[in-house]
């Protein structure tokens, strides 16, 4: 099926199951008009290979759902894929059209920023011009390289409901597997002469609501995982424990760390004269940044085995795995120990279960113990400072690979000072209410890494548009700049000067300065909210707003009272002072990170609303004498 939004990608799972009769399911779907009537998956494991049989019956009720006719089947490059059936049916089940082989296109599954990936996609369209119509297709994949047996959801994307979905997993008797499920999914098991059949069934499954700051689709949909204790991916390995899984990675990596002689000589010249290991590691890290580039081959979609360090030396590019292996080899040549590390990178920190080892990481980096300190090297960025602690990989567990001593390690979140965004805003109003505004914003945390990218990789026109949006005023920008004082510095500044009409609201002889209407979070009313809120990192803001009155003559100032709002979720303070010729406004806000449950949500909503209402009612008034 097409992927209108998020999608569960099944790493080695296929389906061919006999459909139930068409008529009952079309009757049920008539209430929903369109969706997946049946989605069946059967996985057969013989101890050496995994065969997946997959089948779909899809109902298209009107032209708004024709996108469901655009079929996309992703599969591994080393897997064998056969499409056994693809037809269009009318509501009585009669075949209207069959897919021909020449209509099937095969392409690489290339993501943004990728040069190549290991995945392929077969695509075709089964559309009809009379509604409703139904699409039935099935296919089979066979994998000889496998780590998991199933990572399966009855929902195929974030917009399409499913009436009936089944997952069947058949394994030889005596085969050790672990499995778990989430959501309203029924389970049964049947022991046969030579095999064990496990089956999960889900009925009338609706995609979760699209709500602000909710967990990602993959984190909240019904889900089944089936993991074998022993697997084969290039070489055999074990998921008996996190240590044994790490041992498999260590075995793979150990043969990839050889550098060409020319690269060894380059490294030796680069670190000549340096004795401090931190300084040596920094030189090597910046050398890698300056002489390689990142391409995307995701761990969870593009293979687990890295290319060797020599590949990066010869090609000067690599994915997160290859660049981490290269950096590890360079450090090793300099007699510095580092550890290949797996993590799930992104805004959302997927929980890692200590008692359920599974291949659920999507990113590789390095752990670098130095003189009692632990540094983490992000090897895919050409811009971030050495040892920078990114919110994309902190605040979560990662697997540090160290042979049989491999272990899960928790990487703490950045502290709030590392995330501080502070601003100095100077306002020079005129008696007309118009005026000039200058801003200096010092950015840390995710804003720092984002705008470091904007500074280095965007055109002037793109930067202009982004800065206009960032400062929150659609006005004339007189000038702006993005300043980063050195590659070791974990923050940058944005300086902008703007001419702003109606900077202050003019009411007769009075000028009123008020805060723009805004909310720190755009949240649904508690009565409309069904999902928890995820705040992946703290938000810490400290601003000074200086209103310079050099352009005003004969005035008096009325200051509002200070504001002090406290909550379990953070705090907000606002205070005012005046001196001859100026008014100073100081505000500070901290919004803590975490997962806010449905029970806690009304209190978060009240905190945000109270803060917004307080700002809306807060004004500095200047009475101009006539």
Rounded distance, CA 369 to CA 307, Å? 24
**Count of C-beta atoms within a 10 Å radius of residue 191:** 9
pLDDT at 16: 28
Q: Is the pLDDT of residue 33 over 80?
A: no
| Per-residue pLDDT tens over the stretch 323-348 | 999 999 999 999 999 999 999 999 89
Please report the sign of the dihedral spanned by the C-alpha atoms of residue 22, residue 24, residue 25, residue 26.
positive
Do residues 498 and 563 both lie within one domain?
A: yes
Distance separating the N- and C-terminal Cα atoms of the chain: 71
Do residues 463 and 554 both lie within one domain?
A: yes
Residue 116 pLDDT class (50, 70, 90 cuts): very low
Residues in the chain: 626
Residue 476 pLDDT class (50, 70, 90 cuts): confident
pLDDT at 556: 87
In a domain, 7, yes or no: no
Do residues 246 and 227 both lie within one domain?
A: no
The edge-to-edge listing of strands for the beta sheet with 105-108 is 70-76, 119-125, 105-108
Q: Is the pLDDT of residue 160 over 70?
A: yes
| Per-position b or e across 31-51, b if 16+ CB within 10 A of its CB | eeebbbbbbbbbbbbeeebbb
Do residues 151 and 64 both lie within one domain?
A: yes
Do residues 185 and 245 both lie within one domain?
A: no
Please report the sign of the dihedral spanned by the C-alpha atoms of residue 324, residue 330, residue 331, residue 333.
positive
In a domain, 581, yes or no: yes
In a domain, 12, yes or no: no
In a domain, 160, yes or no: yes
- Among 30-44, 277-291, 376-390, 570-584, the least confident range: 30-44
- Cβ neighbours for 426, distance < 8 A, ≥ 6 positions apart: 437, 438, 439, 546, 548
Q: What is the mean pLDDT of residues 101-125?
A: 71
| Per-residue pLDDT tens over the stretch 162-197 | 999 999 999 999 999 999 999 999 999 999 889 999
Residue ranges of the alpha helices (H) in 316-418? 320-333
pLDDT at 475: 62
Residue 108 maps to which CATH number?
A: 2.60.40.3140
pLDDT at 110: 53
**Which of 212, 233, 254 marks a domain boundary?**
233
In a domain, 5, yes or no: no
In a domain, 16, yes or no: no
Residue 19 pLDDT class (50, 70, 90 cuts): very low
Do residues 364 and 382 both lie within one domain?
A: yes
pLDDT at 109: 62
Q: Is the pLDDT of residue 297 over 70?
A: no
Residue 12 pLDDT class (50, 70, 90 cuts): very low
In a domain, 314, yes or no: yes
In a domain, 575, yes or no: yes
Name the maximum alpha-carbon separation found in the chain: 100
Rounded distance, CA 191 to CA 201, Å? 18
Do residues 146 and 254 both lie within one domain?
A: no
Instruction: Look at the block and give the residue holding tokens 């914003």.
Output: 441
Q: What is the mean pLDDT of residues 57-62?
A: 95
Please report the sign of the dihedral spanned by the C-alpha atoms of residue 272, residue 274, residue 277, residue 281.
negative
Number of independent structural domains in the chain: 3
**Which of 365, 393, 411 marks a domain boundary?**
411
Domain that holds residue 246: 237-411
Residue ranges of the alpha helices (H) in 235-373? 242-254, 261-270, 277-291, 299-302, 309-315, 320-333
Do residues 249 and 152 both lie within one domain?
A: no
Under a CB-based contact definition with an 8 Å cutoff, are residues 249 and 321 in contact?
no
Beta bridge partners of 514: 619
Do residues 459 and 404 both lie within one domain?
A: no
Residue 4 pLDDT class (50, 70, 90 cuts): very low
Residue 301 pLDDT class (50, 70, 90 cuts): very low
- Cβ neighbours for 383, distance < 8 A, ≥ 6 positions apart: 289, 449, 452, 453, 456, 487
Do residues 557 and 491 both lie within one domain?
A: yes
Please write down the HEC assignment for all residues of 530-583. Answer: CCCEEECCCEEEEEEEEEECCCCCCEEEECCCCEEEEECCEEEEEEEEEECCEE
**Which of 171, 201, 233 marks a domain boundary?**
233
Rounded distance, CA 335 to CA 284, Å? 12
Do residues 314 and 361 both lie within one domain?
A: yes
Residue 260 maps to which CATH number?
A: 3.10.620.30
Cα–Cα separations (whole angstroms), residue 575 to 315, 441, 559, 588, 617: 57, 20, 9, 9, 14
Residue 451 maps to which CATH number?
A: 2.60.120.1130
Note if the pTM is more than 0.75. yes
Rounded distance, CA 297 to CA 313, Å? 18
pLDDT at 423: 94
- Cis before 132? omega within 30: yes
Rounded distance, CA 608 to CA 156, Å? 35
Do residues 102 and 67 both lie within one domain?
A: yes
Residue ranges of the alpha helices (H) in 303-398? 309-315, 320-333
């Amino acid at each position: 099926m097409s992927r209108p939004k998020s999608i569960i990608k099944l790493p080695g799972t296929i389906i061919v199951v006999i459909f139930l009769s068409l008529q009952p399911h079309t009757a049920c779907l008539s209430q929903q008009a369109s969706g997946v009537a049946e989605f069946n998956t059967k996985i057969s494991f013989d101890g050496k290979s995994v065969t997946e049989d997959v089948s779909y019956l899809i109902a298209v009720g009107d032209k708004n759902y024709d996108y469901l006719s655009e079929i996309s089947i992703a599969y591994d490059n080393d897997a064998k894929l056969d499409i056994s059936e693809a037809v269009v049916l009318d509501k009585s089940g009669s075949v209207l059209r069959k897919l021909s082989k020449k209509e099937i296109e095969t392409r690489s599954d290339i993501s943004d920023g990728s040069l190549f990936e290991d995945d392929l996609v077969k695509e075709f369209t089964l559309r009809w011009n009379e509604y409703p119509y139904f699409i039935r297709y099935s296919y089979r994949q066979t994998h000889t390289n496998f780590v998991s047996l199933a990572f399966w959801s009855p929902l195929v994307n974030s917009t399409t409901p499913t009436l009936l979905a089944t997952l069947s997993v058949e394994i030889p008797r005596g085969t050790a597997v672990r499995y778990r499920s989430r959501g309203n999914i029924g389970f049964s098991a049947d022991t046969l002469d030579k095999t064990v059949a496990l089956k999960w069934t889900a009925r009338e499954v609706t995609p979760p609501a699209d709500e602000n700051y909710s967990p990602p689709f993959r984190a909240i949909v019904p889900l089944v995982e089936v993991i074998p204790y022993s697997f084969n991916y290039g070489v055999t390995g074990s998921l008996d424990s996190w240590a044994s899984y790490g041992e498999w990675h260590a075995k793979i990596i150990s043969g990839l760390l050889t550098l060409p002689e020319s690269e060894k000589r380059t490294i030796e010249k680069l670190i000549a004269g340096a004795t401090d290991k931190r300084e040596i590691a920094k030189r090597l890290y910046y050398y890698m940044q300056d002489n390689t580039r990142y391409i995307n081959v995701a761990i969870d979609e593009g293979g687990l085995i890295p290319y060797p360090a020599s590949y990066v030396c010869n090609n000067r590019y690599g994915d997160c795995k290859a660049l981490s292996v290269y950096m590890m080899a360079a450090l090793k040549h300099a007699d510095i120990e580092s550890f290949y590390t797996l993590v799930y990178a992104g805004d959302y920190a997927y929980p890692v279960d200590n008692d359920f080892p599974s291949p659920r990481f999507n990113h590789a980096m390095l752990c670098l113990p130095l003189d009692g300190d632990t540094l983490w090297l992000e090897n895919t960025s050409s811009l971030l400072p050495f040892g920078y602690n990114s919110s994309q990989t902190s605040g979560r567990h990662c697997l540090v690979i160290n042979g049989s001593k491999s272990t899960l390690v928790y990487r703490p979140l950045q502290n709030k000072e590392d995330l501080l965004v502070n601003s100095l805003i100077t306002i020079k109003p005129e008696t007309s209410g118009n005026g000039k505004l200058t801003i200096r914003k010092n950015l840390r945390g995710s804003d720092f890494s984002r705008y470091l990218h904007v500074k280095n990789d965007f055109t002037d026109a793109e930067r202009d548009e982004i800065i206009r949006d960032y400062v929150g005023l659609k006005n004339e920008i007189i000038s702006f700049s993005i300043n980063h004082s050195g590659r070791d510095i974990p923050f940058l500044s944005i300086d902008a000067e703007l001419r702003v009409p109606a900077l202050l609201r003019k009411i007769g002889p009075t000028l009123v300065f008020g805060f723009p209407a805004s909310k720190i979070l755009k949240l649904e009313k508690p009565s409309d909210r069904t999902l928890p809120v995820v705040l992946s990192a703290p938000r810490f803001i400290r601003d000074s707003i200086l209103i310079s009155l050099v352009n005003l003559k004969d005035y008096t100032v009325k200051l509002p009272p200070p504001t002090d709002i406290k909550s379990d979720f953070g705090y907000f303070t606002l205070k005012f002072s005046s001196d001859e010729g100026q008014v100073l406004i100081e505000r500070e806000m901290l919004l803590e990170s975490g997962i806010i449950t449905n029970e806690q949500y009304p209190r978060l909503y009240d905190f945000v609303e109270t803060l917004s209402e307080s700002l809306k009612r807060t004004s500095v008034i200047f009475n101009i004498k006539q």
